[in-house]
Chains A and B, each alone.
Chain A
């Protein structure tokens, strides 16, 4: 057997070629970690600020409305939708379906398209209402 091309034998981050499928996989993990740490921290902080009083709430609102705060919130919104859509894709794959290469690749691309569209829709709505 004269196959001269070197083929990767086991999964390793440094020898994966970028593609929709592996991107969906790694972004599922990254967005999950971002939501676990950042998302739950913001949720808890927000509830605490409401509980503690007007001053604490205004401090939170000021920080949330600052450029860095908005970047974090928009980022978490995207992480939420990416993890949600990618999670649905994983639930489908858990049933043994969607392993046909083209369909699998197409569904991976769809998670990215969907998460960007939903994030844009949410934030265009927020800025449109002028909250």
Chain B
């Protein structure tokens, strides 16, 4: 049973479950939520335990792989989970197909663009020679 085919064999035989691709979305939202539980607590705990929150301390912290990797994961998984969540909200309240498509496309662009921007900032901090 892959993420792309989340229907159970029994559900298939009975013809139950999503008529389209909703099963994958539902599973993805929950799997990313478990990842964010760890990553979100990691971010807050890390910030609390840093001796200072000045720029130099943040740069040194983020340049270590032990912080750069979870931060990159937090960005990717965080924007993905936000996109999946906003789709549920849009689909709940915007029923007309054209407007529904427009709102979902808007949030798709916002999430991909925002995630790319955050990753660019992180890469600049890690590899860009900022001081």
Contact = CB atoms under 8 A, between A and B. Distances in A.
Interface of A: 29, 32-33, 35-36, 40-41, 43-44, 47-48, 50-51, 53-54, 57, 61, 77, 80, 84, 87-88, 91, 94, 122, 125-126, 131
A94 B55 contact: no
A48 B117 contact: yes
Interface string B92-131: 0000000000000000000000100110111011001010
Given A80-B40, A87-B33, A131-B53, A43 B117 contact: no
Contacts of B37: 84, 87-88
B interface majority secondary structure: helix
Interface stretch (B5-13, B17-25, B82-90): B82-90
A35, A40, A57, A91 interface centre (most CB from chain B within 10 Å)? A40
B95 to A, nearest CB: 15
Interface of B: 30, 33-34, 37, 40-41, 44, 48, 52-53, 55, 58-59, 62, 74-75, 78-79, 82, 85-86, 89, 114, 117-118, 120-122, 124-125, 128, 130
B58 A36 contact: no
Contacts of A33: 85-86, 89
A33 B122 CA distance: 24
Contacts of A36: 82, 85-86
A43 B59 CA distance: 15
A interface majority secondary structure: helix
A91 B118 contact: no
Contacts of A32: 82, 85, 89
A106 to B, nearest CB: 21
B89 A40 contact: no
A47 B122 contact: yes
A77 to B, nearest CB: 8
B121 A47 contact: yes
Given A32-B89, A51-B122, A80-B40, 10 more contacts: A33-B86, A40-B82, A44-B121, A51-B121, A51-B124, A51-B128, A84-B41, A87-B33, A87-B37, A91-B30
Given A36-B86, A47-B118, A91-B34, A54 B44 contact: no
